[in-house]
Amino acid sequence: GIPQGTFASMKKRNSIPYAEILEFCALKKISVNWLFFYQAVDMLKEETEKFFQVRYFSDIRASAGGGAEVFDENYETISIDEKIMHNMVGMGNTELEAIHVDGESMEPTLLDGSIVFVDRTQTDINKNGIFIASTTGGLFIKRIQQRVDGMIELISDNSMYPPQAVAADEVTIVGKVVGNIESL
């Protein structure tokens, strides 16, 4: 160790050997924050838990018009503040994914270029809302209803776009849109 007098002298001369201290802490598995600030590791954990990690598929667009590509494994992780997330999606599932809206068929609810947050655990179309649907024609963002004849109806909010009927076996519900951020 470094004697207290020597350390005080180093501090005055602004010559504290930080590299050696970091190496020592790593070797002994000691938290640098604990050493310098008496801050326990669990205190640090509380700070980092105030953000949710969201998988953001920046190159995927859910078509609000004519169909887009399906989800792939090319994503980046973004951090969303806990308070914003809870305001947007409540206290439910925090394992969300984010994609872009492409097209105007869901306006005025969702604008072209907006980012939507998708909860893949919510796939029950009998509950109202907007869903991401994967079809043979691509990825769509629509309101979805099952018709009496068994067909699935993809419904736009923009009245300029008529509903589309698709066979139930040609549709996979990817998840429910639980929040959005409008394009800036």
So what's the pLDDT on residue 35? 66
Q: Is the pTM of this model over 0.75?
A: no
DSSP 131-156: EEEEETTEEEEEEEEE-TTS-EEEE-
DSSP state of 70: P
Q: What percent of the chain has pLDDT over 70?
A: 73
Residue among 137, 134, 167, 136 nearest 150 (CA): 167
Q: What CATH code is assigned to 51-181?
A: 2.10.109.10
pLDDT, average across residues 128-148:
91
112-127 confidence digits (pLDDT tens): 888 888 888 889 998 8
Domain ranges of the chain: 4-46, 51-181
User: For residue 92, is pLDDT > 80?
Assistant: no
